[in-house]
Amino acid sequence: MDIFDKHQALAQRRGQLLGTGADPFDLEIEALHGPCEATIRGRRTILVGTNNYLGLTFDPDCIEAGCEALRRFGTGTTGSRIANGTYAAHRALEAEIAAFMGRARAIVFTTGYQANLATISALAGAKDIVFVDSDWHASIFDGCRLSGATVVRFRHNDPEDLDRRLERNPNPDGCRLIVVEGLYSMLGDVARLREIVAVKKRHGAFLLVDEAHSMGVFGDKGRGVAEAQGVETEVDFIVGTFSKSLGAIGGFAVSDHPRFDLLRVAARPYMFTASPGPATIATVRAALAKIAAHPELRARIWDNARRLHAGLTALGFALAAPPGPILSIRLPDERTTVFAWNRLLELGVYVNLALPPGTPGGVCLLRGSVSAAHTTEQIDRVLDRFARLAEELGRFAASVAAA
């Protein structure tokens, strides 16, 4: 037996995908021409699948901040936060994130994935129960596994089902932690946080909200869905990432809990990982200041989202959620979705291919994400390519039926 035999089914499925066109999970970007355009497979391509919500990856102030940090502090920290990896800039960023999010305390992590992994695994223990939305991100799933807690899933975005499951699991010997996302990354739907908060209070549970895809986009100050729905003070812990609106890499968690800093010595993914490099920290600090000072970035992304959503709807595509930064199109099956993804790439538009089991309910999606940096002309070009795709999908379906 070979050690990779266990992955034979994955290898066969990947081979089938490669037989239909480009590899959707190892696509090379040959050159970038700004936050929203790139060269892919030798073709100038509009990027509608990057999660670069505010378009700050090419912001001149962020770039200069990173360059200056490289010159002053070098390329990396070469140590964890509990060893030699805490610089003054890490502490400054934590203070700035706490202030931006309106919280007393913040902890910075090397990746957004580790932010969930560390926070959940340290908050929950073997005697605790974690109640998780069934549309959970892999980092939430792995954080729950690392914690050793009992995990109870509830129906996606269903506070009533959460209420029933909390009622059935009182857990007098431990705590109960509810974990949801503010904006769900696959379908683009928004958590019903007001109702979830009411359930949480009724049962005396704790609530963690992952605002990875909503921070910077939702709320008057860009703090996320909890701010937008007016329930910030009822959310115990918020986790976020630097790799979406902030245009970098890393993650954070914030809280008003007076003992929150215990995570620094309780969370293994924080303790045993090298800290974020100086350039990353500097660009995030510059991006955070940019978001706070320029609310027009949020207005722009919402204008773009509404324009793209309306255009796709007019073309007859089935959108999975109302207008927002994530626009996912439901398609009938995997074969059609793979064809559509490849055809869009040939037409100069990049979106994400999202297939089961990585999608909720086993749906097949073309997942797009809009940016404040997209121009009106780019949005209209994208809609033109989707119009061509809509015509071709009809012929594709007919050919499949004939075969």
> In terms of domains, do 302 and 186 share one?
no
> In terms of domains, do 337 and 397 share one?
yes
The pLDDT tens digits for 198-216 are 999 999 999 999 999 999 9
The pLDDT tens digits for 225-245 are 999 999 999 999 999 999 999
Residue that finishes a domain, picked among 293, 326, 352: 293
Which one of the listed residues 90, 213, 290, 309 is annotated catalytic?
213
Residue 95 sits in a domain of what CATH number? 3.40.640.10
Active site residue 294: no
> In terms of domains, do 331 and 228 share one?
no
Residue that finishes a domain, picked among 273, 293, 313: 293
> In terms of domains, do 96 and 213 share one?
yes
> In terms of domains, do 245 and 262 share one?
yes
> In terms of domains, do 283 and 321 share one?
no
Give the side-chain half-sphere CA count within 13 A for 365.
26
Q: Please, are residues 326 and 395 in contact by the beta-carbon 8 Å criterion?
A: no
Active site residue 127: no
Which one of the listed residues 90, 244, 309, 374 is annotated catalytic?
244
Give the Cα separation of 280 and 110 in Å (integer): 10
With a threshold of 0.75, does the pTM exceed it? Answer: yes
> In terms of domains, do 98 and 232 share one?
yes
CA R_g for the chain: 22
Which one of the listed residues 185, 243, 255, 371 is annotated catalytic?
185
pLDDT band at 174 (very low <50, low <70, confident <90, very high): very high
> In terms of domains, do 111 and 27 share one?
no
> In terms of domains, do 240 and 353 share one?
no
Active site residue 328: no
Give the per-residue pLDDT at 399. Answer: 78
Q: What value does the mean pLDDT of the chain take?
A: 96
> In terms of domains, do 97 and 181 share one?
yes
> In terms of domains, do 36 and 69 share one?
no
Residue that finishes a domain, picked among 238, 269, 293: 293
> In terms of domains, do 205 and 275 share one?
yes
* 398: pLDDT strictly greater than 80: no
Distance of CA 25 to the CA centre of its chain: 17
The pLDDT tens digits for 343-359 are 999 999 999 999 998 89
Domain range for 172 is: 58-293
The pLDDT tens digits for 39-94 are 999 999 999 999 999 999 999 999 999 999 999 999 999 999 999 999 999 999 99
Number of domains within the chain? 2
Give the per-residue pLDDT at 116. Answer: 98
* 25: pLDDT strictly greater than 90: no
Residue 359 sits in a domain of what CATH number? 3.90.1150.10
Give the per-residue pLDDT at 403. Answer: 64
